[in-house]
Amino acid sequence: MSGPWTIETLARNGEVLHRHRVTTLPIRLGRAYDNDFIVDDDYAAAHHALVELGPDDGLLMRDLDTRNGINHKGRRVKELTLGGDTVVRMGHTSLRIRPAAHPVPPELVDRTMHGWEGMLPGGAGIVLCVLTALLVAWLLDAGADPERYALYPALAVGAGLAWSGMWAFSNRLFGRRARLGRHLFIVGFGLAALVGVRLLASVVAYAWSLEWLTGYGSHAVVVTVALMIYFHLATVTPQFRRRLRISCAGIAVLVSLLILAGNMQRNGRTADELYMPVLLPPELRASPDVPVAEYMGSVGAMKREIDAERRGNGAE
């Protein structure tokens, strides 16, 4: 293995934080200033490790009898043969050493949407939170209590900042940047989608007598929340998008099954509600009105069915 060699310091998600080139062996690593590579980590020793040519002409890393040692795949090792993809940890610092001839992967298509970072998406997210909160306050008849028009937006913005701040902290912890603006936009858009889906489902269900839209509305909420979490996670770790899609879809299916089972246990039905409690202006009705005689006939048939079921239960 011929030099020069590049020492890469890695973030927790595998992104390269820093690269340093060395041209000769051995390579001394540690916190002291006389090392070939200085490890800026309080948990690393002054002279922590030595990298030299191994018996098979590969790189061999040796621990210099330090307190915290060298860790590879969660296991402490005294010495380790290094390949181009071998990641070792010294204290809290993860690094790898690659020769100049190490192959690099092909160039990726840039799908990171750098324009959706900073003030523009963050401001759009806050505006969406405020507008959605005002809509909810109006739907709840805030005219009787005007303070709701100030309270609901404040609560929405506060919750959105707390939620997106948590994801931004994770983004900074596992990546290079916080990307608070993008996380704020995801929160605002997700909140608007949650309210919009429920509102649209209620209007359509009332207009065309589609009771199942409100009876199973919680599953639409589950899907929306799963999509929000996916976009948050994809912003934090974009290299694992396929795995994240599969994981979020699986969690959404599991939560929906738990909701169905809970409804069945409580109500004897899989629907969230026993009836459609949506009351909107009659002008929104699109289905033809049911004549009174037909309605009473359906009620009579329902009564006969219930009476038969009661007599059967009594006989048992």
Task: Please give the residue range of the domain that contains residue 29.
Answer: 5-99
The highest-confidence range among 105-109, 175-179, 248-252, by mean pLDDT, is 248-252
State how far the Cα of 167 lies from the Cα of 241, in Å rounded to an integer: 16
Nearest residue to 64 (alpha-carbon basis) of 76, 46, 82: 46
Overall domain count for the chain: 2
| pLDDT tens per residue, range 148-207 | 788 899 999 999 999 999 999 999 888 778 899 999 999 999 999 999 988 888 888 888
Give the pLDDT score at 149: 85
Q: Which of 129-133, 260-264, 295-299 has the lowest mean pLDDT?
A: 295-299
Q: Which residues of 54-77 are buried (b: 16+ CB within 10 A; e: fewer)?
A: beeeebbbbbeebebbbbeeeeee
User: Do the domain assignments include residue 147?
Assistant: yes
Give the pLDDT score at 143: 57
* pLDDT over threshold 80, residue 1: no
User: Do the domain assignments include residue 131?
Assistant: yes
User: Do the domain assignments include residue 263?
Assistant: yes
- Are 79 and 146 in the same domain? no
Which pLDDT band holds residue 314 (cuts at 50, 70, 90)?
low
The highest-confidence range among 10-14, 209-213, 247-251, 283-287, by mean pLDDT, is 247-251
- Residue 297 tokens, joined: 């006939």
| pLDDT tens per residue, range 113-153 | 676 778 889 999 999 999 999 988 887 765 567 777 888 99
More confident residue, 73 or 289: 73
- Are 123 and 256 in the same domain? yes
- Are 147 and 190 in the same domain? yes
* pLDDT over threshold 90, residue 6: yes
State how far the Cα of 97 lies from the Cα of 82, in Å rounded to an integer: 7
User: Do the domain assignments include residue 104?
Assistant: no
Q: Please state, in angstroms and as integers, the Cα–Cα distance from residue 292 to each residue in 210, 295, 296, following that order.
A: 20, 5, 6
Nearest residue to 93 (alpha-carbon basis) of 51, 38, 25: 38
Which pLDDT band holds residue 272 (cuts at 50, 70, 90)?
confident
- Are 141 and 215 in the same domain? yes
What is the CATH number for 75? 2.60.200.20
- Are 190 and 263 in the same domain? yes
- Are 134 and 190 in the same domain? yes
> What is the value of pTM for the model shown?
0.64
Q: How many CB atoms lie within 10 A of CB 109?
A: 5
User: Do the domain assignments include residue 212?
Assistant: yes
Chosen domain end from 247, 267, 287: 267
Give the pLDDT score at 91: 94
Give the pLDDT score at 11: 87
- Are 193 and 144 in the same domain? yes
More confident residue, 74 or 313: 74
User: Do the domain assignments include residue 306?
Assistant: no
Give the pLDDT score at 305: 80
User: Do the domain assignments include residue 42?
Assistant: yes
Torsional sign, CA 67, 70, 71, 75: negative
- Are 252 and 136 in the same domain? yes
User: What is the share, in percent, of the chain residues with pLDDT greater than 70?
Assistant: 94
Give the pLDDT score at 29: 97
* pLDDT over threshold 80, residue 112: no
- Are 137 and 90 in the same domain? no
- Are 95 and 123 in the same domain? no
- Are 126 and 255 in the same domain? yes
- Are 91 and 123 in the same domain? no
User: Do the domain assignments include residue 291?
Assistant: no
